[in-house]
A and B are shown apart, each in its own frame.
Chain A
């Protein structure tokens, strides 16, 4: 976890603006609510320079605050496919690149990569961004998290606490490349 924190700090060093934490998903579909729950937990911490928002889904007007931000962490639930002979993931972290091919087309959906591309296209800038995913196992109608998602949420919030709380302390860390996918196991 510590190395991830350092790597994110390095990628955002020297940049100004807020850090966005955008948790999205349906709060009526059990584990799908983990993104909004995490965003609300972070919003409740009151970190200076951090804007955490819980949303049912990504919306295009996020492009403007994204363009002004220092970094963005998108938080979403993910299916938890069986991984025989391997420990279950607690959460995953993926460095995102802007990509217009992930635009939702005819429907109302959006994708964080498309939002980054929208920020770039409209405002000439998009921040370094990551997608933090918490695996879930129950997406049926309901308002409680499964044990798996609850554990993932606890770990993900702890990770974000560390990252957001450590931002100022990490200024002197040497820069390292962030790998395309990492998970804590």
Chain B
């Protein structure tokens, strides 16, 4: 057999990398596929010995993609250790910032990273299958997507300032209130953001209906779904509330569960081929307790969203699910992301029009009243857990972070395997077409993983796709930096 190897070396200073390995049997059929991350974790140790008050600022610096998520989860952990209830306006402002984060992060994922596949085709010329191809084909949508992300960033900046990592949320509340001119500016930007989102929703619905094979074989399998829902009514939630776990038939396995008790229901498995931990639902064991988090999970587990436009979209979304209205295909993360942007925009408008939002009472004082605290919020990619132990002086003794990307690890592996098995056949001698490898990679992209969050690596990682034959020899390899 001829062994072929194609390597495109990325120019990078990063030693670790993310990798998809596809294993073929003697007939050239896919026997297995894995998503691995090869980078050591060391961040939790790095935090030990630091003052609690620094943690929000430090954890926000883990990652350039979702600093706000860590900021808020860390501040909430501090609230728990202080044993304080933060002022109502502080909670509203934190929510506002998180909604800005969800908007900007989802917009980046959809418009920059994923829509070129959808608009230009998985098999289209890879040189064109990017944001530039999108600009050439649909300039208004591309520009709108960038401005939508910019709006989300502006929400964050108007609250936290233009600092590299806004250490704005702190245990007990937030450092600064919202200014009236910032509120008015953000309100003025909402109509355009909403219009762009509705256009994109119209597109994704059409795409899903016209590409049923793609959707049906793109990580379409039963798993559990986990996330936060509101304490009253089990509605869509992004900042606080109760943990809910639902199975693929819509049965609630866990409900009204205090997220601070997460360790009672979530275990963390480690596989020898990846440094990314694999959390699972303990009562069902590993890997049977695989669950998904993030936009798809949040839309599956909630009773409703609570705002009119997003609820209308949610009802239509669920019609594309199984007989119980549960949507299983990983592809639908894209669709779910757009509904969540719409939900975020509606909630941003509600918050900005709340007279209390301009109150200057935004911080409660407190001290070390507990030696252990847990803070849980919904990051764009899914539920984020921060768990700290401190000494009586508030110095960190132990840290555990459970990151959304890790919680999707088992599902990401199943997704790449399903996509590879559906699309790659008889590959013993033939080179795998780039479009097929792109589909496999797109299975990971649908989860929008944040690898720097998951592994705390420096910068960003290249993603390598490698194809092995039955003897373990490399047949093909493509690296994207």
List the interface of chain A (C-beta within 8 A of B).
25-29, 32, 36, 40, 53-57, 59-61, 63-64, 77-79, 100-101, 103-109, 117-118, 121-122, 139-142
B442, CB-defined interface residue at 8 Å: yes
**Complex CA–CA separation, A121 to B42 (angstroms):** 40
The listed residue with most A CB atoms (<10 A of its CB), out of B42, B131, B139, B163, is B131
**Are the CB atoms of A56 and B67 closer together than 8 Å?**
yes
In the bound complex, do residue B459 and residue A122 qualify as a contact, i.e. CB atoms below 8 Å apart? no
Closest residue of B by beta carbon distance from A105: B480
Asked if B132 and A26 make an inter-chain contact with CB atoms under 8 angstroms apart, the answer reads: no
For A56, what are the chain B residues with a Cβ–Cβ distance below 8 Å? 61, 63-64, 67, 164-165
In the bound complex, CA of A142 to CA of B62 (Å)? 12
Give Cα A142–Cα B113 distance, bound, in whole angstroms.
Answer: 31
- In the complex, which of the residues A53, A60, A141 contacts B112, with contact meaning CB atoms closer than 8 Å? A60
B146 touches A61 (CB 8 A): yes
Closest Cβ of chain A to B355, distance in Å, is 31
Closest approach, in angstroms, between the C-beta of A22 and any C-beta of chain B?
Answer: 11
At the interface, yes or no: B223 with Cβ under 8 Å from chain A? no
Given that A36-B164, A118-B132, A139-B13 are known contacts, is A101 also in contact with B460, CB under 8 Å in the complex? no
Q: Are A117 and B460 also in contact (CB < 8 A) when A61-B150, A106-B441, A108-B108 are?
A: no
3 A-B pairs with the lowest CB-CB distances in the bound complex, closest first: A56-B64, A109-B460, A57-B64
8 pairs across A/B with beta carbons < 8 Å? Answer: A28-B46, A28-B456, A56-B61, A61-B146, A106-B113, A109-B460, A122-B143, A141-B43
A39 CB, min distance to chain B CBs, angstroms: 8
Q: How far is the CA of A77 from the CA of B127 in the complex (A)?
A: 28
- B481→A121 contact, CB < 8 A: no
Instruction: Answer whether A32 and B131 are a contact pair too, CB < 8 Å, given A56-B165, A122-B146.
Output: no
Contact flag A29-B458 (CB < 8 Å), given A56-B67, A108-B65: yes
Contacts of B475 in A (CB 8 A): none
- B441 near A108 with CB under 8 A, answer no
**B165 x A27 contact (CB < 8 A):** yes
User: Is B162 interfacial (CB-CB < 8 Å)?
Assistant: yes
CB neighbours (8 Å) of A36 from chain B are 164
Which A residues are CB-close (under 8 A) to B67? 56
User: Are the CB atoms of A121 and B132 closer together than 8 Å?
Assistant: yes
Cα A141 to Cα B132 with chains together (Å): 35
| Distance from A92 Cβ to chain B, minimum over Cβ atoms (Å) | 14
Among A27, A60, A140, max chain B CB count under 10 A is at A60
B297 CB, nearest partner CB in chain A, Å = 21
Interface of A is mostly: mixed
Contact with A along B130-165 (1 / 0, CB 8 A): 111001100100110010011001000000001111
Tell me, rounded to whole Å, the shortest Cβ–Cβ distance linking B365 to chain A: 28
- A55 to B61: give the CA distance in the assembly, Å: 10
Q: Which B residues are in CB contact (< 8 Å) with A60?
A: 108, 112, 131, 146, 149
In Å, the complex CA distance between A117 and B131 comes to 10
Across chains A and B, the number of contacting residue pairs, with CB separation under 8 Å, is 112
B463 contacts A106, C-beta separation under 8 Å: yes
A residues near B460, Cβ cutoff 8 Å:
57, 104, 107-109
Q: Which residues of B contact A105 (CB under 8 A)?
A: 130, 463, 480-481
Q: Is the CB of B132 within 8 A of A106?
A: no
- Chain A's closest residue to B15 (CB) is A139
A106 touching B481 in the complex, CB below 8 Å, given contacts A27-B165, A56-B67: no
Q: Does B305 contact A (CB under 8 A)?
A: no
What chain B residues lie within 8 Å of A106 (beta carbons)?
A: 113, 441-442, 444-445, 463, 480
**Complexed CA–CA distance, A79 and B77 (Å):** 36
B residues sitting closer than 8 Å to A (CB atoms) are: 13, 42-43, 46, 58, 61-65, 67, 108, 112-113, 127, 130-132, 135-136, 139, 142-143, 146, 149-150, 153, 162-165, 441-442, 444-445, 450-452, 456, 458-463, 480-481
Residues from chain B with a CB closer than 8 A to the CB of A109 are: 459-460, 481
A27:B61 contact, CB within 8 angstroms:
yes
Instruction: Check if B480 sits within 8 Å of A107, measured CB to CB.
Output: yes
- Report which residue of A36, A59, A106, A139 has the largest number of chain B beta carbons within 10 angstroms of its beta carbon: A106
Residues of chain A within 8 A (CB-CB) of B153 are 59, 61
Assess whether A141 is in contact with B461, with CB atoms less than 8 Å apart. no
| Pair B130/A55 contact, Cβ less than 8 Å | no
Q: Which of A28, A64, A101 contacts B127 (CB 8 A)?
A: A101
Taking CB atoms, residues of chain B closer than 8 Å to A57 are 64-65, 459-460
CA distance A46 to B461 in the complex (A): 35
Contacting pair A117 B64 (CB below 8 A)? no
- In the assembled complex, the Cα of A92 lies from the Cα of B418 at a distance in Å of 46
Do A32 and B459 touch (CB < 8 A)? yes
Bound Cα distance from A109 to B65, whole angstroms: 9
Question: Please, which residues of chain A bring their CB within 8 A of the CB of B143?
Answer: 122
In the complex, what residues of B have CB within 8 A of residue A63's CB?
A: 146
Contact B162 A53 (CB under 8 A): yes
Q: With the chains together, A101 CA to B480 CA distance in Å? A: 11
* CA of A10 to CA of B180, assembled, Å: 44
Question: Which residues of A lie under 8 Å from residue B130 when comparing CB positions?
Answer: 100, 103, 105
Interfacial chain A residues near B442, Cβ < 8 Å: 106
Given A78-B13, A104-B481, A141-B43: A28 in contact with B149 (beta carbons within 8 A): no
Which residue of chain A lies nearest to B112 when distances are taken between CB atoms in the complex?
Answer: A60
Report yes or no: B132 in contact with A103, Cβ–Cβ below 8 A. yes
Interface centre among B43, B58, B146 (most CB of A within 10 A): B146
A104 to B109, CA, bound (A): 12
> Shortest beta-carbon distance, A135 to chain B, in Å?
10
- Which residues of chain A are within 8 angstroms of B13 by Cβ–Cβ distance? 32, 77-79, 139
CB of B444 within 8 A of CB of A141, answer: no
**Least Cβ–Cβ distance between A140 and chain B, in angstroms:** 8
B463 x A122 contact (CB < 8 A): no
Write the nearest CB–CB distance from A26 to chain B, whole angstroms: 5
In the bound complex, residues from chain A placing their C-beta under 8 Å from that of B463 are 105-107
B58: nearest chain-A partner, CB-CB = A28
Q: Give CA–CA (A104, B18) in the complex, Å.
A: 14
Complex Cα–Cα for A160 and B278 (A): 46
Distance from A119 Cβ to chain B, minimum over Cβ atoms (Å): 11
Given A56-B164, A141-B456, 11 more pairs with CB closer than 8 A: A26-B61, A27-B61, A32-B459, A56-B64, A57-B65, A63-B146, A101-B127, A105-B463, A106-B445, A121-B135, A142-B46
